[in-house]
Structure 1
Amino acid sequence: MNEIFWPEGFVPGFTENFASNEVIVAGLGAVDIWPWLSHAARWPSYYANSANVQLNCAEQLHDGLRFYFETFGFPVEAQCNEYVPPSDDQPGRIAWHGWAGEGETRLDVHHAWLIEDLPGGRVRILTQETQKGKPAAELAVARPNPMINGHQDWLDGLVRAARKTA
């Protein structure tokens, strides 16, 4: 199976927080999942922890696009830094650098997604996020873990939305 590509400074284990969530489901393909993830304006329709997505007139994410959304109580400015639609020979990949706050309240994240078809009519959806800054250190020790639980909600909602239209 494939893995996430990490930019320098955001490698898991060298940041204050890391979250990893994955599902493998039958009956869906990467092409079913992709429109629900690449069109960020759709996120709030299936993931309650995202709101006020603003894409500067773009219909979907693309490499280099700056966008804004709110999640986990943070107003996040973000820039898409990886955008590769799935194809027969490669998995789909979306990633962005997001940031919020300044000084002591600064939070920097790299949030990446990998969507790949597997044998037997299955799809694997992997989302991982590394975070830096004091808010990240606080999230890392919170129990229950808000990042793990929130991202699992995102994955579950993504699969439900895709099943309704597949």
Structure 2
Amino acid sequence: MRNWVQAQGGQSQQVTDIVRQLSKKFPWPKHENRDMWTWYLPHAQAVLGLSDECSERKMLVSVQHNVAGCYALLGKYSEAEEMDRQTLALKETVLGREHPDTLGSMNNLAIVLEMQGKYSEAEEMHRQTLALTETVLGREHPETVRSRNNLAKVLRNMEMRS
């Protein structure tokens, strides 16, 4: 089917349509909706293999973000890290470095790095996130407080490991 669609010259439109549908239907993974996101995950993985064909970059970001969350919830931290890095890069391009969604992706990447024991990288990412969050949202914003807390957690974990 892929070969036929590609031969017809419509692959980009088909991929974009699939990404559009997935961005609407594929939920953020939580334990409560596990049946739903595990059903969508293989479809999302397949379409992400053709992501260069997608013309809707904002919707692609949504699918990547959810796939990264699935990987993290499944304990596939190296896959989550790779997807979080891709998502962050795309969000920086599409939304800009200071967009709140981009800051959220920075935070997600830092958390996944910490889960893998990559504490120095996690600390650096948390520090960057905190600095940008304070600038963009203000020192007292709940996301800034959360970012400060995440940095404190990684520093505590580093201290406990040494």
The TM-score, its normalising length taken from structure 1, stands at 0.26
Structure with greater contact order relative to length (CA < 8 Å, sep ≥ 6): 1
User: Greater Rg, structure 1 or structure 2?
Assistant: 2
